[in-house]
Copies of this chain bind each other. A is one copy, B any other.
Amino acid sequence: MDQKVVLDTLWVMIAGMLVFFMNAGFAMVESGFGRAKNTVNILSKNFIVFAISSLAFWALGWGLMFGNGNGFIGLEGLWGLGGADNSPATGDAYQGAYAAISWATVPLLAKFFFQLVFAGTAATIVSGAVAERIKYLTFILFSFILVAFLYPITGHWIWGGGWLAQLGFWDFAGSTTVHSVGGWAALAGVLVLGPRIGKFKGGKSYPIPGHSMPLATLGAFILWLGWFGFNPGSTMAADPSAVAHIALTTNSAAAAGILSSTIAAWLIIGKPDLSMTINGCLGGLVAITAGCAYVSVGSSIIIGLIAGVLVVFAVLGFDRLRIDDPVGALSVHLVNGVFGTLAVGLFAQSQFTPNTTGDGLFFGGGGGLLMNQIIGVATVGLFTFGASLGVWFALKAMVGIRVSPEEELEGLDIGEHGMSAYPEFAIAAEHSYEVVESQRPSAPKPGSLPGSQVAVDVEG
């Protein structure tokens, strides 16, 4: 067999396994940032979501995303990976229903495995933002729809040879395709759900500390590791210099994001808040995802530095907008997914991956690339946010979206799953603290934003 096929397949499969492991990372970060009484629910969501994604992407998602079709949607080989395909043949030798990904010199099932773990990531991003109040069944249904329909459609535009790909929109490993799509779907869910009971009261925002920092930190390390599959693996080829270059830009952005978010938190909040450091790391990773193959190591450090600061301001900003995102998923995946995609338009240098992006604005390439990136970010955002909003509202009408206030107060673990995460540990009573008035201007009034309109207010 052709050695290149062997090498590329090995690399793609190993990288895919690392990305798969990110599910464990998300599960740990999200349960660590949640409360003990909702831990079984958070773990269950994160555990089942990849199972759902596996079946949904196999059943239909892959076909919609990579099937030959028009600029908006795949139409061939839709169901059950059933299209004709003579992979690993490439180029002119390729014959089959999935021409858009025929450039990868690996068997069809290797392509599918690698793309599947990406689809799973988009779905799992949602789970953190909607945690601690969403119905288990509703989350499962939404995940299925996201991976079977929404994610593959915008995915087709970008990676499936669709109109954005033709326009010259570049997103190497998925800042937009995966992360901001997950982020927009999450934002829609958060707005339909409203904030957790007790999060915003009387014009104040009450912190709801995560119950286990070791879990959250472990999760962050696992995600960081997984990103070495996510970005360098997106070469889908064992290209030595590309893999090494991408691993390094990825790592540098993470490191820079850690530093800048820690410093920003230290300066703004007064303490180096570990939860901000973790979000900063992930923000840097998300931000470099689009450009990891197109920018220099120096640029990756700058992108990471900006991402880390963005995360801190985004967390504080969503709080003031009364948008309740328990784990910072919006700040990490949505905000930095958008930023990272735009950063390609600024920092790309043609030399790193010739015949792709060309040079960005800061390297003499003019604003054309940036404009394409803006168009991509905007259209993908509009579509995903709009469609998700529709799906969430439909689910709300049909099966309900939020657990009862009693259940939410008691914890979803008992209500949804009938069990406790830590049945033997003494859990201290919540509350019994006062919010300290900060120097920041007071939060906007209730009702001034969609999120609070639909908020459940049990205390009132």
Contacts and interface: CB of A to CB of B under 8 A. Distances in A.
A438 to B, nearest CB: 13
Contact of A109 (B107, B220, B248, B277): B248
Contacts of A427: 424-426
Of residues A3, A18, A254, A424, which shows the largest number of chain B Cβ atoms within 10 Å of its Cβ? Answer: A424
Nearest to A46: B217
A76 to B, nearest CB: 19
B217 A214 contact: no
Interface in A38-94: 39-40, 43-44, 46-48, 50-52, 54-55, 58, 80-81, 88
A44 B274 contact: yes
Contacts of A209: 419-420, 423-424
B421 A213 contact: yes
B281 A47 contact: yes
Given A107-B240, A107-B244, A240-B88, A20 B228 contact: yes
Contacts of A298: 80
Nearest to A232: B13
B23 A221 contact: yes
A240 B9 contact: yes
A429 to B, nearest CB: 9
A143 B220 CA distance: 21
Given A47-B278, A418-B270, A427-B424, A5 B217 contact: no
Most chain B beta-carbon contacts within 10 A, residue among A273, A301, A425: A425
A106 B244 CA distance: 9
Interface string A218-248: 1011101100100010000011110111011
Contact of A36 (B55, B217, B424): B424
Interface stretch (A178-186, A255-263, A329-337, A390-398): A255-263
Given A3-B3, A24-B225, A212-B214, 9 more contacts: A6-B240, A13-B232, A16-B247, A51-B254, A51-B255, A51-B259, A109-B245, A269-B418, A274-B417
Interface of A: 1, 3, 5-7, 9-11, 13-14, 16-18, 20-21, 23-24, 27-28, 31, 35-36, 39-40, 43-44, 46-48, 50-52, 54-55, 58, 80-81, 88, 106-110, 112-113, 116, 136, 209-215, 217-218, 220-222, 224-225, 228, 232, 238-241, 243-245, 247-248, 251-252, 254-256, 258-259, 262, 269-275, 277-278, 281, 297-298, 301, 416-428, 430
